Structure 1
Amino acid sequence: MKYDVVQGDIAAQSADALVNAAGTSLRMGSGVAGALRRGAGEGINEEAMEQGPVELGEVAVTDAYDLDADHVIHAAAMPHYGDGEATEASIRDATWNALETADELGCESLVLPALGCGVAGFDLREGAEIIGEEIDEYDPETLEDVRFIAYSDEEFDAIRSATGKAAASDAEADR
């Protein structure tokens, strides 16, 4: 399985599945969820919320609507109730479950963000290390191309440094 760190807007990516950095309610608010919601249309939030709430670390799958993907995998790395902060365990579980679900769906390509590292309050560098470890340890059945995406220059540099991944080419980042 090829695994790269890329920079860009997750909602502009082309893949079999895109991963949403979700909370347990599956309500799509700001950050990655907001970008995917704006790109997909309102139907995605309605479909996601119909499947929630889910347990911390679990995932739900929706159609990708107007996004250039077949599925959106909503990975709940943070609680939407109580303190709202991600943990090492929730990030590990959400990452692993997203990879496993993509395989179960027969996906060959997957794009995932820094789960739990935005509004969920987990340190980006530490979270990126955890996500990178889970990707490295995962033995795929159908997945061939996994892209760990960063939006800002600062986030991109931090994720690359934390995972030890060199920059992907511009052509790969625009897929």
Structure 2
Amino acid sequence: MEFTVIQGDVAAESADALVNAAGTSLQMGSGVAGALRRGANGPINEEAVSKGPVDLGGVAITDAYDLDADYVIHAATMPHYGDGRATAESIREATRNTLEKADELGCESLVIPILGTGAAGFDFETGAQLICEEVWSYEPTSLTDVRVIAYSEPEYQTVTDIADQLQS
């Protein structure tokens, strides 16, 4: 499986599946969810919410509508109750469940952002380390191309440094 780090907007990417950084209610608000919702140009939020709530670390699948993908995998790293904060375990579990679901769907390509580090408040560098470790150690059945995406140049550099350390 090819594991690369890219910079950009997840909603502008082309892949079999794009990943949404979701809360357990699956309500698509701001950040990654907002970008995907706007790019989908369809009832993706309503479809996502109809499949929730999900457990922390759980995933749900929706159509990608006008996004250049077949599916959006909504990975719940933050609770929509209590403090609303992601944890190391919720990030690891959501990443693992995302990879497994993509394989189950027969996806060959996947683009995943650094889950749990925006509105969910988890430290970006630590979150990137957890996600890269999960991707790096995953043994796929259909996935051949997994791209971890960072939005800004500094975030991209952080994720690239982490990925380089894992691959050396």
User: TM class by shorter-chain length?
Assistant: over 0.9
RMSD: 1.2
Provide the C-alpha distance between the structure 2 equivalents of 1:156 and 1:79, rounded to a whole number of angstroms: 26
Task: After TM superposition, give the deviation of residue 69 of structure 1 in Å.
Answer: 0.2
Is the CA contact 1:113–1:148 (under 8 Å) kept in the aligned structure 2? yes
Which structure 1 residue ranges, 5 or more long, are not aligned? 166-175
Q: How many percent identity over aligned positions?
A: 67
Alignment of 1:37-52 (within 5 A): 37-52=37-52
SS of 1:164's partner is: helix
Secondary structure of the structure 1 residue equivalent to 2:6: strand
Q: Please give the alpha-carbon distance, in whole angstroms, between the structure 2 residues aligned to 1:114 and 1:164.
A: 16
Q: 2:12 & 2:83 partners in 1: Cα distance?
A: 31
Figure out how many residues of one structure are paired with residues of the other and give that number.
166
1:117-155: CA deviation from partner (whole Å, max 9, x where unpaired): 111111111111100110011100000000000111121
1:51, CA displacement in angstroms?
Answer: 0.5
2:65 is the counterpart of 1:65: yes
Asked if 2 retains the 8 angstrom alpha-carbon contact of 1:5 and 1:156, the reply is yes
* 1:98 to 2:84 alignment: no
Q: Report the counterpart of residue 118 of structure 1 in structure 2.
A: 118
2:48 partner amino acid: A
Q: Which residue of 1 aligns with 2:11?
A: 11
Give, in whole Å, the separation in 1 of the partners of 2:117 and 2:61: 21
Distance 2:98 2:138 in 1: 11
2:20 equivalent in structure 1: 20
Residues 42 and 66 of structure 2 are in contact (CA less than 8 Å); yes or no, is this contact kept in structure 1? no
Q: Which runs of 5+ in 2 are unaligned?
A: none
**Which of structure 1's runs of 4+ aligned residues deviate more than 6 A?**
none
**C-alpha contact 2:10 2:32 (8 A) present in aligned 1:** yes
Cα distance in 1 for partners of 2:42, 2:78 equals 22
Partner of 1:161: 161
User: CA separation in 2, counterparts of 1:80 and 1:162?
Assistant: 29
User: 1:59, 1:86 → 2: CA distance?
Assistant: 15
| Deviation, structure 1 residue 49 | 0.2
TM-score (norm 2): 0.96
TM-superposed CA distance for 1:164, in Å, is: 2.1
Displacement, 1:5?
0.4
Contact kept in structure 1, 2:25 and 2:80, CA below 8 Å: yes
TM-score scaled by length of structure 1: 0.92
Q: Which amino acid aligns with 1:107?
A: C
